[in-house]
Amino acid sequence: MDDRKKQREKKRRIANLQALLIVLLFSTIALLLIAVVMKGGVKDSPVVSKNTEEVVDVNVTTEGSRIEAEPIVAAKDVFPELDIKEQYITPNRYSRPQIELKKVTHIVVHYTGNPGTSAKANASYFDGLKEQENQNKKSPIFASSHFVIGLKGEIIQCIPLNEQSYASNHMNSCSISIEMCHPDDTGAFENETYNSAVFLIAKLCNYYNIPTDNVVRHYDVTGKLCPKYFVDNPESFKGFKEWIDKWRKKYATEK
Ligand SMILES: [Zn+2]
């Protein structure tokens, strides 16, 4: 009887040991997994939902044909007399979807809403939106602009003229967008920024043969407070367009 009891006891101990080992094994695996996830080593895929609702929310254009990055239409070639730098956004679905811009009927003016930031920094921001591909965001940001004009009047082109930008909602498919930098919260522009915008927009209006009245604020498209200074001071926007008109005439007679 004792032997059988001893054997049973032995079996029970082995079973307990096995159970303990299994628990230890699973705990180790769980701990390892937690460590890997916390380190960000696990990349979920697919990372972004294919649902287009979020796209519709921000009025991102999906119509139109996707075009190749080359040949691009560079503003510095079209307007060699303006000092236009290039900082093209890497093609990506958040800021440079490479959708063909077939016709241009409007120029839409914006302000960055980022006081004191440079044109270069804003162009880099648009480019950086491509990183959202790996961030699994619920509401990704879709944004870009054809041009950003800096605090010293420097002009940076971010999107080729034959591609749509993500700036002006339902007008993306028929407009060129201009972002203007500003030094403070009032949204007022430095003279250099203002002047470069006048020169560039005058050139664009003549090039596309569109009336100066089709130079509009983002506000006129969606009611958004953008560009703030031109919304707060409508007279100032009128004056801005009068300057554009004057330079259009000047450029036209120069040809
Ligand atoms: Zn805007």
Q: How far is the CA of 161 from the centre of ligand 1 (A)?
A: 18
Quote the ligand 1 centre to 111 CA distance (angstroms). 6
Higher pLDDT, 109 or 71: 109
The whole-angstrom separation of Cα 137 and Cα 37 is 17
Token pair of 111 as six digits: 């302000």
- 255 CA distance to ligand 1 centroid (A)? 33
Ligand 1: centre distance to CA 64 (Å): 22
User: How does pLDDT run across 122-144, given as a tens digit for each residue?
Assistant: 999 999 999 999 898 899 999 99
User: Domain limits of the chain?
Assistant: 64-254
In this prediction, residue 57 carries a pLDDT of: 35
Write down the pLDDT at residue 18: 83
User: Tokens standing for 234?
Assistant: 């409508």
Expressed in angstroms and rounded, the spacing between residue 193 Cα and the centre of ligand 1 is 16
- Residue-wise pLDDT for 140-180, tens only, equals 999 999 999 999 999 999 999 999 999 988 999 999 999 99
* Token pair for 205: 């209006």
64-254 architecture in CATH? 3-Layer(aba) Sandwich (3.40)
Please tell me the pTM assigned to this model: 0.75
Distance (Å) from CA 171 to ligand 1 centroid: 12
DSSP H or E run through 241: helix 234-254
Element (H, E) at 147: strand 147-149
Residue type, 102: K
Going edge to edge, which strands form the sheet with 147-149? 84-86, 155-157, 147-149, 175-180, 106-111, 215-217
> Ligand 1 mean position to 113 CA, how many Å?
8
Cα separation, 126 vs 141, in Å, equals: 10
Contact 227, 215 (CB under 8 A): no
Question: CA 175 → CA 15, 52, 65, 101, 112, distances in Å?
Answer: 75, 23, 16, 8, 18
**DSSP secondary-structure letter at 173?**
G
Give the tens place of pLDDT for each residue, 225-249.
999 999 999 999 999 999 999 999 9
